Structure 1
Amino acid sequence: MRLLTAVDQLFLLLESRKQPMHVGGLFLFELPENAESDFVYQLVKQMQDSDVPPSFPFNQVLENLIFWKKDKNFDVEHHLHHVALPNPGRVRELLMYVSKEHGRLLDRAMPLWECHVIEGIEPEVEGGPERFAWYFKIHHSLVDGVAAMRLVQKSLSQSPTEPVTLPVWSLMARHRTQVHATQPAKRSIKHILKEQVSTIKPVFTELLDNAKNYGDDGFVGTFDAPMTILNKRISTSRRIAAQSYDIQRFNIIAERLNTSKNDVVLAVCAGALRRYLISMNALPSKPLIAFVPMSLRTDNSISGNQLSFVLANLGTHLDDPLRRIELIHRSMNNGKRRFRRMNQAQ
């Protein structure tokens, strides 16, 4: 058995019916040229009939909210779902289905993940190839965002011509030489407690440094976020919307303004939020604050949580988009600089 970390337990303790704590990804695929009409069915059947057992972390189940243990009664029917969208099978219908499924809690008596294969999606352009989707969700206590993306990357074909005969939950059978490198190191309770105690002094030092920098608009304090119409209790309802952008546009903006692509994404979100709040006559005089996840992962592992969060000033009080992105960039760099002085335990 493997001991849950404090962060892993936090994601479980914070979970409620109105606040699920899993992460999910939606992937769209085009059917291969000259594919048979039952291509997706055969793909699902191949996954269902696979006699290869699930590998880490897909074989982990909770034990008293304290340990992870290996699941000895894996039931593929519980985790794998095959559905077809009703006509006309647009992206709208796809997102409605995913919205509903993303709002459902995962069963803690089972390994905390699900895989949905969705067919019946219309072509992107008239006359183009039909499409199918893969929606995957897994609990945040098992993986963070970087680990989840590594799982997806390892589970898919590495080239258009490479056949994949194993399901995603047996992906380590395809990467046997990497098993030890991708699993987290085992740590004793004594080691964990010693590590946590050693963080007291450097964390206190950072708090003092934060107090010295208070007043700089690039610095964000814990209580700087204003009250808005968005700060409300959430319900159980979920509605997912999607918007596509050409990544090259973000690359060009980031290069010309000497910022990161993440800063550009935050600036786009900030502009949209500012416009929405103005339309509702509800834009606060103080800038909105974003809670931005930041990966602390320095190894090749594909499980657990190695992340923290940066408070970023979104500059929504500024009407000039260039001043807004400059403030976002400065605020993000301020947060990153503080984290570079700290280790994962802190």
Structure 2
Amino acid sequence: MKKKFIYTLLTALTITSVASIKAFAAVDAYVLKDNTNTYQYNLNELSDSLINNTLGQQDKLYKEFEAQLSSGKIYLLHDSEGKYVSYDEVKNILIEKTLKEEIFDLNSEVKKAKEADKPSLMENIKKENGEIVRELMVLKEGTSLDGSKLSKDRYKRIVVKASSVNVSNLQIDGDIVLDPGTMGKVKLENVKCNAITILSGDKKGIQFNKVENKKLNIDGKLDIEIQYESDAPGNSSGGGSSNGGSSSNGDSTQTKEEAERIALLTKAKTQLTKVYGALNNEKEKEIVSKMLSSLTEAINDKNYDPSKDEKELRQLYGKLSSKEKDELKEKILNNVTLSVIFILADMYNIGL
């Protein structure tokens, strides 16, 4: 009877006294599990929310946690080094050491515990600007996420934290964050979203095929060359890649001059894609998007005539204010090499 009482008491304390867990640096999140999904809650945020509710404030995060807990259970603990461990395993050690009147150090036990098998997908539930938001995290290597099965407005972000991941048929109002690791590989196919942010990945490990996004952010420390199976943001469908390599336009052979031409154009496209990601002004983005579309046509057709695009680009460029022109020039000069500037100036005859 005494053992059962202590077990019940310790379990209740571990679940409800979230604020006390804040002292242990190693544990930074709880993961709950119900019959269908897993849900992660940051312990610092949860602790603050619990305190707010204790003081009489109606804090939504802890109430959401309580509601989720009523239909599920605590499943995993997450530590600050990115490891997931079994909650039941750690809880059993706590009970055993308490019964033996031995010291229990959560930090130490979590560090010693073996890493648990993590789910492929997990919802990360957090509070932003006073509101509950959900991120869908892709955690397991080799996962294929079919976005057609997701609600368009359920998630504020899709966060990819594993390599060899394929995300397809996805249309969301929110953002996508790619963080698969230094040598990570991710493919996005038939995807439409707000912004895409790349935090890590292999140099040529990020593939886009039929991807539409309003903004592209690439960590400035990375040397990422996005591989396009179709087109860069804002463009219509077509061929081409941004890896600095070449394509044969359907020919079985290719001259050295043709290969060099394609290599220069794909280099220009790669660098302009970074410019596109750095822009916030819609008129400036429209100009760069048109350039990217034009470059794709030039890559695929050696007889491509840029005069039509040149006329349209000059019209778009003429609509910019002097300040906007200076901003666009600055972004281009900061992100492209001199050889690419010469290519753009020659093709479109606009003052860069």
TM-score, with structure 2 as normaliser: 0.24
Q: Which has the higher strand share?
A: 2
TM-score w.r.t. the length of structure 1 is 0.24
Of structures 1 and 2, the one scoring higher in RCO (CA 8 A, sep 6+) is 1
